[in-house]
């Protein structure tokens, strides 16, 4: 498997993990998901540059883009370091 495929798969998994964590946190208001801040840290960092008045769907696109870019970048570096 090439480094690009490896990083892309982990980037997509990062989106899935972030969406699961977001949906759990969004629908289970009284319960806090342990590790949410760690799992969704790249997305929350990407969102920190935008105001709270930004509509929901652009925020969700930024959330998923931040997750993908961070997870794929980290695992690209991991794949490069392993070789």
List the domain range (segments joined by +) for residue 36.
Answer: 3-82
How many other CB atoms are found less than 10 A from the CB of residue 73? 15
DSSP 3-38: HHHHHHHHHHHHHHHHHHHHHHHHH-TTSPPTTHHH
Residue 32, pLDDT score: 73
Distances (CA, A) of 36 to 17, 29, 72: 10, 13, 19
Count the Cβ atoms, other than its own, within 10 Å of residue 50: 11
Report the domain count for the chain.
1
pLDDT of residue 18: 87
Q: What is the per-residue pLDDT for 46?
A: 92
pLDDT by residue, tens only, the chain of 83 residues: 888 999 999 999 999 988 888 888 778 767 777 877 888 889 899 999 988 898 989 999 999 999 999 999 999 999 999 87
């Amino acid at each position: 498997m090439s480094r690009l495929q490896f990083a892309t798969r982990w980037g997509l998994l990062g989106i899935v993990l972030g969406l699961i964590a977001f949906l759990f946190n969004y629908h289970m208001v009284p319960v806090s998901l342990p590790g949410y801040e760690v799992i969704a840290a790249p997305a929350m960092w990407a969102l920190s540059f935008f105001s709270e008045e930004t509509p929901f769907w652009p925020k969700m696109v930024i959330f998923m883009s931040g997750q993908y870019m961070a997870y794929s970048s980290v695992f690209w570096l991991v794949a490069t370091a392993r070789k």
